[in-house]
Chain A
């Protein structure tokens, strides 16, 4: 059974810092990995999706890497801003007969203070 763990559980940083969020998964046979953002009282917004054949994806100040063999992914946020404050969730899709069934980590609560 796939298990996804995110470290740290919470992170508080001053504005402008570069930061790294970590995600680990127990079964390396994944189809893809996604990073989501969740704002209070709102649904999830997809940030980046990395296919199993890819090593990284970039969108603006966000960069996500994937190391399938070690079961790890990192989300790098450059020059953090107060608007980045949210919960960040990673999720893996095992593919195959489990295609589309996402297994989520518990999330990292990020607070960026001015």
Chain B
């Protein structure tokens, strides 16, 4: 079966610009997660969706980050405006029972 797809794979922007990331989970997986992984650290959960509803967004910086999952399938994560400290890899995962399956991530560099 196809894995979790993410695009773009790499993005370079200047601070204060906006950026959006896209994720297509594994077919049939109801749960979708967005993680932020800063260099040298483990991933940190930003937001968790169950179908198209938000389960937890307690660690999402809502003043600049937003996420949506329309129709309970694809999801987008947006940052506006970006800061230097947002430079990281953004990982999307879809969940089935106990397991999470991760996409390849989008590496964001903010200059």
Interface, chain A (partner B; CB < 8 A):
4, 32, 36, 41-46, 49, 51, 89, 91, 93, 98, 100-107
B residues 79-111 with Cβ under 8 Å of A?
Answer: 91, 93, 95, 98-105, 107
Smallest distance from the beta carbon of B97 to chain A beta carbons, Å?
Answer: 10
A contacts with B: majority SS: strand
B contacts with A: majority SS: strand
Q: Among A36, A91, A100, point to the contact of B48 (Cβ < 8 A).
A: A100
Hey, which chain B residues are within 8 Å of A98, CB to CB?
A: 56
Q: Among B42, B56, B107, point to the contact of A91 (Cβ < 8 A).
A: B42
State whether A44 and B91 are in contact (beta carbons under 8 Å apart), knowing that A100-B33, A100-B100 are contacts in the complex. Answer: yes
Q: Among A42, A102, A106, point to the contact of B45 (Cβ < 8 A).
A: A102
Interface size on B, residues (CB 8 A): 24
Q: Does B75 contact A (CB under 8 A)?
A: no
Q: A104-B42, A106-B42 are in contact. List 6 more A-B contacts (CB 8 A).
A: A41-B107, A43-B102, A100-B48, A100-B100, A102-B43, A105-B42
Tell me if B56 and A101 are in contact (CB < 8 A): yes
Tell me, in angstroms, the Cα distance from A100 to B43 when the chains sit together.
Answer: 14
Smallest distance from the beta carbon of B26 to chain A beta carbons, Å?
Answer: 12
Tell me if B33 and A104 are in contact (CB < 8 A): no
Q: Mark B35-62, 1 if CB is under 8 A from A, else 0.
A: 0000011111100100000011000000
Pairs A–B under 8 Å by Cβ, sample size 22: A4-B42, A41-B104, A41-B107, A42-B104, A43-B102, A43-B104, A43-B105, A44-B91, A44-B93, A46-B99, A89-B43, A93-B98, A100-B31, A100-B95, A101-B48, A101-B56, A102-B45, A102-B100, A104-B43, A105-B42, A106-B40, A107-B41
